[in-house]
Structure 1
Amino acid sequence: MRKVTPDPPDADNASPNEGPETQKRDEATNRNDDDHHASFADIRATPRTPCTMYIVNPEVDVQTLLGSVSESLASACVITMDLADRETGTSRNTLLGIFEIIMLAEISVNRALDQLDPIE
């Protein structure tokens, strides 16, 4: 006849929380905790390699950058209003709220541009 229940654990490994599998998991968890909680000094010591996929030329002046942002925000305003015109109800109200946020950002950027190069 076949035995249904397993043998009891050895006296050395009496605790259900301790075993070879648990020790391996605990070591891996500790390593992950160490990696996850790197100190500020460790982070600063790591050389920074910026992603070159969307890099902005570091020699571009602030006025050019703000002009580009202004144009992007103006485009986002047009897109948002176009979508809002096609919607009704709460979706329309949400899009109009997003439009207002974009519009305020555009006004702020344009104000910064005016301060950099005032119209005389």
Structure 2
Amino acid sequence: MIKPTPNPPELDDTTPYEFPGSKRFHEAAERALDHYLKPNALTLRFHKPSTMFQIAPDQDNESLLAHACESLASASIMTSDIAAYVDNPQRHTILAIQQIIMLAELAVNRVLDNVEMARSASHN
């Protein structure tokens, strides 16, 4: 029996540059994307972060951790609620995000427990 294709099949030498101007077009597109998506060093040097939402420097660690824990718990509930309303591919992604949030919440809770244990040990 004669096979219509060689064994192993020949590799196809296709390239995204099927005509002479396409490589230049691709390079121009890359430059345009870099211009808009990759900030240059000069831009980064003069970038001043917004101070609109700032945490007061005198906040104690326990309060910050408690707030972070509450925020993570809220985010976990919100992702769970959203996951109930979307179809499978997006649901799996949202539930994976929820799992990451829950793991972060567990870590923050552990730190809060450690802070509480250290404080009770120092009072004894």
TM-score by length of 1: 0.57
Counterparts in 2 of 1:1-120, with a 5 A limit?
A: 37=41, 51-118=50-117
Q: Please identify the structure whose Cα radius of gyration is greater.
A: 1
**CA offset at residue 114 of structure 1?**
0.4
Question: What residue is the counterpart of 2:23 in the other structure?
Answer: none
Map Cα deviations across residues 23-55 of structure 1 (whole Å, 9 max, x no partner).
xxxxxxxxxxxxx556xxxx6xx9xx7633111
Structure 1 CA distance for aligned equivalents of residues 51 and 78 of structure 2: 28
Give 3-state SS (helix, strand or coil) of 2:52's partner. Answer: coil
Map Cα deviations across residues 1-41 of structure 1 (whole Å, 9 max, x no partner).
xxxxxxxxxxxxxxxxxxxxxxxxxxxxxxxxxxx556xxx
C-alpha change, 1:80 and 1:37, in structure 2 (3 Å) is closer
**CA offset at residue 89 of structure 1?**
1.1
Structure 2 CA distance for aligned equivalents of residues 78 and 94 of structure 1: 15
Structure 1 CA distance for aligned equivalents of residues 104 and 69 of structure 2: 9
C-alpha change, 1:98 and 1:50, in structure 2 (3 Å) is closer
Gaps of at least 5 residues in structure 2 are 1-39
- AA at the equivalent of 1:65: L
C-alpha change, 1:50 and 1:59, in structure 2 (3 Å) is farther
Give runs of ≥4 in structure 1 deviating > 4 Å: none
**CA offset at residue 92 of structure 1?**
0.7
Structure 2 CA distance for aligned equivalents of residues 97 and 37 of structure 1: 35
**CA offset at residue 88 of structure 1?**
2.1
TM-score by length of 2: 0.55
